[in-house]
Amino acid sequence: MDRTNRSKAVGRLLATLGALGTVPVASAHGGEAAPPLPQWLALLILVVGVAGIVGSAYSKRHISAKVALAGVFAGIVVSAIGAVGLVQLSPVETLAASQPPVSRSALGALTVGAGVAIAIGSLVVGRMQWPDRPRYAGLGILLGLWVSYPMLAPSALTNPLGYVLALAVTIGVGYLLWADAGSLIRRALGDSVARWFGVGTGAIAGLFFMFSMGMLTFVPEPGGGVDLNESFVTTAQVANPLVYWPGVEFHFHDAIGTVPLSGVLSVGMALLVGLVAVLVALNASLLAYQWRTEHGTGAMETTAGSAAVAAPNACCCCGPVISELVVVSVGPAAAAPLYWLFVDLASPLGALFFVTSVALLAGNLVRAGNQSL
């Protein structure tokens, strides 16, 4: 192998191992092109990372919390690399919008039904369980509207109500945390180890989310009259979340050695990813704080805290990852319809993943904040 080929091979490997990572902006799958590395390698990396997280968590009783947290963080990094690798190395061919496995009318009905159910359920449960805290029901109603908005609002992508809803959800989450978990969050962030564990975990979650959604990719898809042999940066109007947002489309031909980097970033996507990443960071800081100070009530609460951090992260990315696991098991042809359900913007699953993640992450912080009073 000559030096050029060796450089390309090393560059691909570094890109795969260095990629940190539900509605995508751009597809990272290049039709029938063969992936540069076998997909089973990414699956193996994912399994190793999960094993590292579990092993480090169980070892906490025998080693210091600081060392255990370092092991958990390393496992998170490796798991993110493997999960993003499953998507980046996928041979799945994105189905055309004219060939959906489920009719758009059925998806529309499911979207409206799911959103209305979330809103009504939040109102009923909120009134019954927390009549003195209407903010719980209010946020639930906003999240339900987020799911059903694309089908209920006229000219949804250009309707000003979409911008209002996006801002309202963000402010609602912030107010909820300030009112019910502000004191606990400040204590957790006051511990330097817990703070940096949270910052690192949140950053990884944000990058992971961006790769999973197709906002960033090391495997750009040719087409559209774009010369992928040339680097470029251009402005663009990007659809979703909810409405059109100003954004930037870019391609760097030699971003990492000989490996390219492409992507589309918008104000709306930054808002969505930023909200999830901040919530993950705060939950991770809380978990680290509990480990270091033993403020929890024992092993049961620590386990619950770990699950509360892991479950929403898995929820954010499980659509693309599940479809890629199907690719590994049964091949691209069988996995393509499942992949379409998760990446098509008409599918309600992406919005459901987002609102479920926000509800779980914010709910865990509020629960911990109420228990610490």
What is the full DSSP assignment across 298-312? SHHHHHHHHHHHHHH
* More reliable by pLDDT, 187 or 225: 187
pLDDT mean over 156-166: 94
* More reliable by pLDDT, 86 or 221: 86
- The C-alpha atoms of residue 177 and residue 276 are separated, in whole angstroms, by 13
Task: Using alpha carbons, select from 53, 9, 101, 49 the residue that is nearest to residue 349.
Answer: 101
pLDDT mean over 204-218: 83
Count of structural domains within the chain = 1
Residue 214 lies in a domain: yes
Exposed, middle or buried: residue 361 (CB in 10 Å: 0-12, 13-18, 19+)? buried
243 DSSP 8-state letter:
S
- The C-alpha atoms of residue 146 and residue 124 are separated, in whole angstroms, by 18
Decide if pLDDT at 220 tops 80.
no
HSE-up of 88 (CA within 13 Å, CB side)?
35
Residue 17 lies in a domain: no
Task: Using alpha carbons, select from 219, 222, 267 the residue that is nearest to residue 242.
Answer: 267
- The C-alpha atoms of residue 110 and residue 102 are separated, in whole angstroms, by 11
Residue 30 lies in a domain: no
* More reliable by pLDDT, 39 or 119: 119
Decide if pLDDT at 332 tops 60.
no
Q: Count of residues for the chain?
A: 373
Residue 13 lies in a domain: no
pLDDT for the residue 244: 93
First to last CA, the chain: 65
Residue with tokens 């370092």: 70
Decide if pLDDT at 239 tops 80.
yes
- The C-alpha atoms of residue 40 and residue 52 are separated, in whole angstroms, by 18
Residue 29 lies in a domain: no
**pLDDT, averaged across the chain:** 76
Question: 369 by DSSP, 3-state: which?
Answer: helix
* Structure tokens that stand for 119 in this block: 């809103």
* Structure tokens that stand for 269 in this block: 């996507």
Residue with tokens 């996928």: 90
pLDDT mean over 112-122: 93
- The C-alpha atoms of residue 165 and residue 174 are separated, in whole angstroms, by 14
* More reliable by pLDDT, 137 or 317: 137
* Structure tokens that stand for 321 in this block: 């990852």
Sheet holding 244-256, edge to edge: 216-217, 259-266, 244-256, 232-239
Decide if pLDDT at 20 tops 70.
no
In this prediction, residue 98 has a pLDDT band, given cuts at 50, 70 and 90, of very low
- The C-alpha atoms of residue 307 and residue 318 are separated, in whole angstroms, by 15
pLDDT in tens, 28-49: 444 444 455 677 788 889 889 9
Task: Using alpha carbons, select from 362, 353, 204, 199 the residue that is nearest to residue 281.
Answer: 199
Q: Which domain holds residue 112?
A: 38-371
Residue 23 lies in a domain: no
Count of CB atoms situated within 10 Å of the CB of 179: 12
What residues form DSSP beta bridges with 223?
226
In this prediction, residue 141 has a pLDDT band, given cuts at 50, 70 and 90, of very high
- The secondary structure of 142-192, three-state, reads HHHHHHHHHHHCCCHHHCHHHHHHHHHHHHHHHHHHHHHHHHHHHHHHHCH
Residue 306 lies in a domain: yes
pLDDT for the residue 130: 92
- The C-alpha atoms of residue 91 and residue 32 are separated, in whole angstroms, by 6
Cα-to-chain-centroid distance, residue 29: 18
213, 238, 358, 359 from 141: Cα distances, Å:
25, 26, 13, 11
Q: Where are the alpha helices (DSSP H) in the chain?
A: 3-18, 39-58, 65-88, 104-129, 134-152, 160-190, 192-212, 267-293, 299-330, 332-343, 349-371
- The C-alpha atoms of residue 126 and residue 110 are separated, in whole angstroms, by 24
